[in-house]
């Protein structure tokens, strides 16, 4: 690639050390820093970092915050270094900055990419006001094994849903003008396949077919780049024995040669250094060479590039052209976001002082949170509750808690604004005194007398809201679990409270799908509330008391048991599929049916939606044509509601066996009571394409099933034929 004359002149003037300097990003010790999200390595103190910046040895810093101190760091880079190249300032702004939105998995449950675009935009406005240019988000890892803790950070198990949210979040972070003060540069991560770690075990190997890699894990990244992303973060895991951060076929072959990506790749934290631990590099010098020449342009935190690249270039093992190409990519991105023309963009202390996150985004946070809540069950219509005339017991360790509201990967949340469950529910009641609050148990340990107090409160109440689930440190990075269940102390609390016979509504807190057992599973009603962020209590109250009719649907399958993992809806049929009436010598578990407790796409409403039969515009789809697939949808209940209408297909026969169902489109439809509409989707051949046996990405003519349904297991299929060219 060639830069403009100004940058080409700058590049020509750079020494090797200055060029290498642009390829290093280090923890931002010059301002308040989020220290506990990474292991310690190569920690530079503030003085050392300042000196390196003056020497032109730092291309970027990360996870520090504050406009004034960021401005001073930039001043050193621009005014005190020889060439005055501005710094990029990044951070993990994953689901909000000061205002915290639901974890990305929860937000994906909204099935509203536009909502994710809005919350990403809000995060960008706040983050850039606080002295940041760049976020290491969105996380795009498709995750089919809920034992993996980072399933919380992305959009779940489905590639179409994940792809839609990928593009939406990049658009939201970027806004309309990359050079604007409130543009936050996105970083699709972790490239690639990280969500497929074997056994859901963090940092584990990934063994994956080319077809699954290309049909499931790569598409969200392609969509993110098509939406304008200019940086990508490489992953920790190896893929079929080649570490992702040294995988030239993917980092160069796919990203650059196939997709034409012109931005830069930043490694995950010390991922280049970890090539030695992988056993892929014999030493740090070889790790540097393998990572850089494979296509990782910028090294995060390890310092390997600064130490070894100059020598590798001097010895000719890395050509000057290769070095220059990496530097060009970084300079081009800095130019694209306006740093050369306006190096102090997003570093305005007055803007930070004037920022009022609550006024700006409090309502959005509440709306995003309530739109992420999934009503899993509601036996006897126990929900919504009345605001008056009944005694409510709020029981469980999350009732009053404020430390598990934000969810994993929240570095800069304004905790003073957090609304916990007790706050939100009491504020929503006509008489706040009608709410009794009892912890009942700790997150992991029983409380002396806790269950007795909880049982007493339950007996004395008309209904129990049981606030239980995973503490937030059970999900996120390095938090894989063997049993994805409610912690035993809380399960015991649930058993005792449900045994009183008082109706129980479970307010589940979780960073992944959970295997629900016993009294938790059998409670009258269950709301899946993920980690909802700043407005947790108000959003839950809005749903519990019916001010908002829950409209979210599951982006991940809820299993019957941890032992079913990995469990996902779009699996292959196998040669001996489990059939309802035939179970011997079939693909099933001895202990239980193969399927989930609650399937992908599932979610109830306080109203009732009725689907008409699927109608096709023709019984065949021409090779270059379009097929319109429609169904009527009626709100047959007595209140306004929103339904996520889902379009699924199944390719009956193909050169590689195809999933029993695949989501191809979805739409959230709002209907008043009694209102009816026709929901139509257009199907095209490219939506039926997959990596065929010959390695081509193509559709194959033949018979297909198609559904319009409320989840991945419901609906009546109709058939159509895809005609050949
Ligand atoms: C972490 C994470 C990555 C994050 C980076 C910087 O290890 O894997 O998602 O952006 O390091 O904190």
User: Cα–Cα distances in Å, from 32 out to 64, 65, 111, 142?
Assistant: 5, 6, 35, 32
Task: Give yes or no: residues 366 and 408 share one domain.
Answer: yes
Distance 395 CA to ligand 1 centre (A): 35
Burial class (CB in 10 A: 0-12, 13-18, 19+), 391: middle
Task: Give yes or no: residues 343 and 366 share one domain.
Answer: no
The CATH number given to whatever domain includes residue 703 is 2.60.40.10
Can you tell me the distance from the alpha carbon of 144 to that of 622, in angstroms, rounded to the nearest whole number? 33
Residues with CB under 6 A from ligand 1: 37-38, 63, 92, 136, 189, 268-269, 477
Task: Give yes or no: residues 344 and 399 share one domain.
Answer: no
What was the pLDDT predicted at 309?
98
Task: Give yes or no: residues 329 and 457 share one domain.
Answer: no
Given 332, 352, 372, which residue is the final one in a domain? 352
What was the pLDDT predicted at 8?
97
Task: Give yes or no: residues 346 and 387 share one domain.
Answer: no
What was the pLDDT predicted at 651?
98
Task: Give yes or no: residues 418 and 444 share one domain.
Answer: yes
What was the pLDDT predicted at 1?
84
User: Cα–Cα distances in Å, from 81 out to 74, 76, 118?
Assistant: 10, 7, 38
Which region, left, alpha or beta, applies to residue 98 given φ > 0 means left and ψ of -120 to 50 means alpha? alpha
Can you tell me the distance from the alpha carbon of 650 to that of 635, in angstroms, rounded to the nearest whole number? 28
Largest CA distance in the chain: 81
Containing domain of residue 534, as a range? 356-564
Distance 620 CA to ligand 1 centre (A): 47
The CATH number given to whatever domain includes residue 263 is 3.20.20.300
**Residue 465 corresponds to which tokens in the numbers above?**
């809201």
In a domain, 253, yes or no: yes
The answer to whether 36 is a known catalytic residue is no
Task: Give yes or no: residues 363 and 278 share one domain.
Answer: no
Task: Give yes or no: residues 389 and 529 share one domain.
Answer: yes
Q: Are 577 and 136 in contact (CB under 8 A)?
A: no
Q: Into how many domains does the chain fold?
A: 3
What was the pLDDT predicted at 594?
86
Given 312, 328, 352, which residue is the final one in a domain? 352
In a domain, 20, yes or no: no
Distance 269 CA to ligand 1 centre (A): 6
Q: Are 524 and 504 in contact (CB under 8 A)?
A: yes
In a domain, 6, yes or no: no
- Would you list the DSSP string of 134-174? EE---B------TTSGGGGGS--S-HHHHHHHHHHHHHHHH
In a domain, 622, yes or no: yes
Q: Which residue out of 35, 37, 39 has the highest number of ligand 1 atoms within 8 Å of its CB and is therefore the one to mutate? A: 37
Average pLDDT by stretches of 10, the chain with 725 residues: 93 98 97 89 93 98 98 98 98 98 98 98 98 98 98 98 98 98 98 98 98 98 98 98 98 98 98 98 98 98 98 98 98 98 98 98 98 98 96 98 97 97 97 94 98 98 98 98 98 98 98 98 98 98 98 98 98 88 83 94 98 97 98 98 98 98 98 98 98 97 98 98 95
In a domain, 311, yes or no: yes
Can you tell me the distance from the alpha carbon of 254 to that of 222, in angstroms, rounded to the nearest whole number? 10
Given 324, 352, 380, which residue is the final one in a domain? 352
Asked whether the bond before 138 is cis by omega within 30 degrees of 0, the reply is: yes
Three-state SS at 351: helix
Task: Give yes or no: residues 430 and 337 share one domain.
Answer: no
User: Cα–Cα distances in Å, from 719 out to 2, 27, 649?
Assistant: 52, 56, 9
Task: Give yes or no: residues 407 and 339 share one domain.
Answer: no
The CATH number given to whatever domain includes residue 460 is 3.40.50.1700
Task: Give yes or no: residues 511 and 623 share one domain.
Answer: no
In a domain, 277, yes or no: yes
Spot the catalytic one: 92, 268, 297, 439.
Answer: 268
In a domain, 445, yes or no: yes
**Nearest Cα to 345, choosing from 91, 59, 82, 86?**
86
φ, ψ for residue 658 (rounded to 5)? -105, 155
Task: Give yes or no: residues 223 and 362 share one domain.
Answer: no
Can you tell me the distance from the alpha carbon of 187 to that of 677, in angstroms, rounded to the nearest whole number? 39
In a domain, 660, yes or no: yes
What was the pLDDT predicted at 210?
97
What was the pLDDT predicted at 43?
86
What was the pLDDT predicted at 56?
97
What was the pLDDT predicted at 585?
86
**Beta strand 626-635 with 676-684: parallel, antiparallel or unpaired?**
antiparallel
Can you tell me the distance from the alpha carbon of 312 to that of 31, in angstroms, rounded to the nearest whole number? 33
What was the pLDDT predicted at 517?
98
Q: Which residue out of 34, 92, 186 has the highest number of ligand 1 atoms within 8 Å of its CB and is therefore the one to mutate? A: 92
């Amino acid at each position: 690639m060639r830069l403009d004359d100004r940058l080409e002149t700058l590049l020509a003037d750079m020494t090797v050390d200055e060029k290498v300097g642009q390829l290093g990003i280090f923890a931002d010790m010059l301002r308040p820093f989020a220290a506990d999200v990474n292991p310690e390595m190569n920690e530079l103190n503030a003085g050392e970092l300042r000196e390196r910046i003056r020497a032109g040895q730092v291309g970027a810093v990360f996870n520090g915050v504050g406009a004034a101190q960021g401005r001073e760091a930039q001043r050193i880079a621009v005014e005190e270094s020889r060439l005055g190249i501005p710094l990029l300032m990044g951070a993990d702004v994953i689901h909000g900055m000061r205002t915290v939105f639901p974890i990305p998995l929860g937000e994906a449950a909204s099935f509203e990419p536009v909502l994710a675009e809005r919350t990403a935009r809000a995060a960008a406005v706040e983050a850039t006001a606080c002295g940041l240019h760049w976020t290491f988000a969105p996380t795009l890892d498709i995750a089919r094994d809920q034992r993996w803790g980072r399933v919380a950070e992305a959009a779940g198990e489905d590639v179409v849903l994940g792809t839609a949210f990928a593009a939406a979040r990049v658009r939201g972070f970027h806004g309309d003008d990359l050079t604007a003060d409130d543009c936050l540069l996105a970083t699709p991560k972790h490239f690639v396949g990280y969500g497929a770690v074997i056994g859901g075990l963090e940092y584990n190997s990934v063994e994956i077919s080319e077809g699954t890699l290309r049909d499931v894990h790569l598409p969200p990244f392609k969509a993110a780049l098509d939406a304008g992303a200019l940086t990508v973060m490489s992953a920790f895991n190896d893929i079929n024995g080649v570490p992702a951060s040294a995988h030239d076929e993917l980092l160069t072959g796919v990203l650059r040669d196939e997709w034409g990506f012109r931005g830069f790749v930043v490694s995950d934290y010390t991922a280049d250094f970890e090539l030695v631990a992988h056993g892929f590099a014999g030493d740090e010098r070889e790790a540097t060479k393998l990572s850089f020449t494979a296509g990782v342009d910028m090294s995060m935190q390890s310092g390997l590039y600064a130490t070894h690249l100059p020598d590798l270039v001097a010895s000719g093992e890395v050509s000057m052209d290769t070095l220059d190409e990496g530097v060009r990519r970084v300079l081009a991105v800095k130019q694209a976001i306006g740093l050369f023309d306006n190096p102090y963009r997003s570093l305005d202390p007055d803007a930070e002082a004037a920022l009022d996150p609550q006024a700006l985004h409090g309502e959005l946070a509440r709306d995003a949170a309530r739109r992420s809540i999934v009503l899993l069950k509601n036996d006897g219509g126990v929900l919504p509750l009345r605001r008056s005339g009944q005694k409510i017991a709020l029981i469980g360790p999350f009732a009053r808690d404020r430390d598990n509201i934000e969810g994993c990967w929240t570095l800069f949340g304004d905790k003073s604004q957090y609304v916990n469950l007790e706050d939100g529910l009491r504020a929503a009641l006509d008489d706040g005194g009608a709410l009794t609050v009892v912890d009942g148990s700790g997150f992991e340990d029983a409380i002396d007398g806790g269950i007795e107090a909880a049982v007493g409160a339950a007996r004395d109440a008309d209904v129990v809201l049981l606030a239980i689930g995973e503490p937030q440190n059970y999900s996120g990075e390095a938090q894989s679990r063997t049993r994805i269940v409610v912690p035993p102390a809380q399960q015991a609390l649930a058993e005792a409270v449900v045994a009183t016979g008082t109706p129980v509504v479970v307010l589940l807190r979780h960073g992944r799908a959970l295997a629900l057992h016993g009294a938790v599973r059998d409670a009258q009603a269950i709301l899946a509330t993920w980690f909802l962020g700043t407005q947790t209590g108000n959003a839950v109250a809005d749903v519990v008391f019916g001010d908002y009719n829950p409209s979210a649907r599951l982006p991940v399958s809820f299993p019957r048991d941890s032992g079913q993992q990995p469990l996902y809806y779009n699996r292959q049929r196998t040669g001996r599929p489990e059939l309802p009436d035939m179970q011997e010598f079939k693909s099933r578990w001895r202990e239980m049916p193969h399927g989930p407790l609650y399937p992908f796409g599932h979610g109830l409403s306080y109203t009732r939606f009725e689907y008409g039969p699927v109608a096709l515009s023709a019984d065949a789809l021409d090779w270059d044509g379009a097929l319109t697939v429609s169904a009527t949808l009626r709100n047959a209940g007595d209140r306004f509601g929103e339904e996520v209408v889902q379009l699924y297909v199944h390719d009956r026969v193909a050169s590689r066996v195809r999933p029993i169902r695949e989501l191809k489109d979805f739409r959230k439809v709002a209907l008043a009571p009694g209102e009816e509409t026709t929901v139509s989707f257009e199907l095209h051949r490219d939506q039926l394409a997959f990596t065929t046996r010959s390695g081509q990405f193509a559709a194959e003519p033949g018979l297909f099933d198609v559904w319009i349904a409320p989840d991945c297991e419901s609906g009546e299929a109709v058939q159509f034929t895809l005609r050949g060219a």
